[in-house]
Amino acid sequence: MQSKHRVFAEDLLLAAEGEDHFDRVPDSLVLIIFNKLADARSLGRCSAVSRRFNALVPLVDDACLRIDRVIPADGADGAGADALGLAGAPRPRAVLSHLLKAMLQAVLKPFAHCDAKSGAGAHGGKHAQLQHHSPAQVLKNFSSIRNLRMELPVSDVGTDDGVVLKWKAVFGSTLQSCVILGGTKVERAAAGTHHASLTAAAAADSDATGDDSGSIPESFYTNGGLKLRVVWTISSLIAAATRHYLLREIVKEHPTLEQVALTDAHGQGTLTMGRDQLKEFRDKPLAAAAAANRTQVPACNMKLRYAPLLELSDGTRIHGATLVVIKPVGEAGGVGGGRKELDDFVADTFDGPFREAVGVLSKRRTYLLEMNGF
């Protein structure tokens, strides 16, 4: 019987002769590992390890692309950055830098560019700072992607401290549904007052529920509340429409896509497209807003629900809680075409305490509003 030391010595001898035990791992298992890895940059580095990896990486199903740095689409005045809430993006400060940026934009795609860290080390000085690749370029070697998640480095809509604003939108060739949840202040209730506050909030909820008649409470209008909620709604829709427009090249070049999610590092907003939405996106012409790098938002119906104070079961208190459900005019549903599908989409939009907030607000009185396309 061989000792462990002898077996170990033989393994070292085989390795010295050039045998790679990883070659015994079947390709199907390697692909499972790559799909778990998902991160597009890491997969790109894996493809440089060996010829085998280089052949397998393009076959992954799932990919996640995190964008480190955002460059405005409109270098002249930064309007594209402002539409995305990216006022901190670099802007030209001199004639020379302006001309240089104009030349670069003629070559690079007008998209949020991700930093090519792997290529920066090979170039020194200022040239290294200009090594960027668009997401379309990063993903061009992936031929079998079915699920794609992209993450922007910043939120699209700026908010003050303590304010909560979350949104989720579904797009096909244009907007299908959008849910927006906002609150002017979020805090945790003290342990001793939690039960009493929760009872009072429940009583207020029971008084506020009813049909779609009645007027919006006075607290909705005071201290600029109405204007603030209009800004939330318009800004969220613009952010979603801008993200949708930026996906056009990626969707066109990857016919295998079945699910796309474009979110941000702070989790403020998410744009999603499923198989049916992606098919519609490819089949129907994209209506772009005039002089803006975004998809045109159609005329919409909005259902608004409001609570001056909402206290949740975990003690979270949301002041000025507002839920807005948006769908295009003339569509009964918006996600799958039916009211039930839309209701399910609204209920499952957010996680954690915000999921409970949506459920509580959905039971309150509904106010119907209309919005023109823009």
Give the whole-angstrom CA distance, residue 103 versus residue 75: 10
Count of domains for the chain: 1
Residue 300 is predicted with a pLDDT of: 96
pLDDT of 84 over the 50 cut: no
Residue 207 lies in a domain: yes
Residue 358 lies in a domain: yes
Residue 196 is predicted with a pLDDT of: 42
CA distances from 69 to 175, 184, 314 (A): 27, 29, 36
Residue 243 lies in a domain: yes
Residue 303 lies in a domain: yes
Percent pLDDT > 70 in the chain is 65
Q: How confident is the model at residue 119 (pLDDT cuts 50, 70, 90)?
A: very low
Q: At 201, which helix (H) or strand (E)?
A: helix 194-208
Residue 341 lies in a domain: yes
User: Do residues 152 and 70 make contact, with C-beta atoms less than 8 angstroms apart?
Assistant: yes
Residue 317's beta-bridge partner residues?
Answer: 187, 311
> Phi, psi (5° rounding) for residue 165?
-145, 120
> Mean pLDDT across the stretch 133-150?
88
Q: At 261, which helix (H) or strand (E)?
A: strand 259-264
> Mean pLDDT across the stretch 265-286?
93
Q: What are the pLDDT digits (tens) for 12-23? A: 555 555 666 777
120-129 residues labelled b (16+ CB within 10 A) or e (exposed)? eeeeeeeeee
Q: How far is CA 139 from the centre of its chain?
A: 17
Residue 131 lies in a domain: no
Long-range contacts, stretch 124-132, CB < 8 angstroms, 24+ apart: 130/104, 132/69, 132/71, 132/108
Give the whole-angstrom CA distance, residue 200 versus residue 310: 10
Question: What mean pLDDT, rounded, does the chain reach?
Answer: 75
Residue 370 is predicted with a pLDDT of: 92
> Mean pLDDT across the stretch 196-202?
43
Q: What are the pLDDT digits (tens) for 34-60? A: 888 888 888 888 888 888 888 999 999
Residue 223 is predicted with a pLDDT of: 60
> Mean pLDDT across the stretch 217-228?
71
Q: What are the pLDDT digits (tens) for 147-186? A: 999 999 888 888 878 889 999 999 999 999 999 999 999 9
Q: Which two tokens stand for residue 100?
A: 């240089």
Residue 291 structural domain: 159-371
Residue 342 lies in a domain: yes
Residue 67 lies in a domain: no
Q: How confident is the model at residue 337 (pLDDT cuts 50, 70, 90)?
A: low
Residue 126 is predicted with a pLDDT of: 43
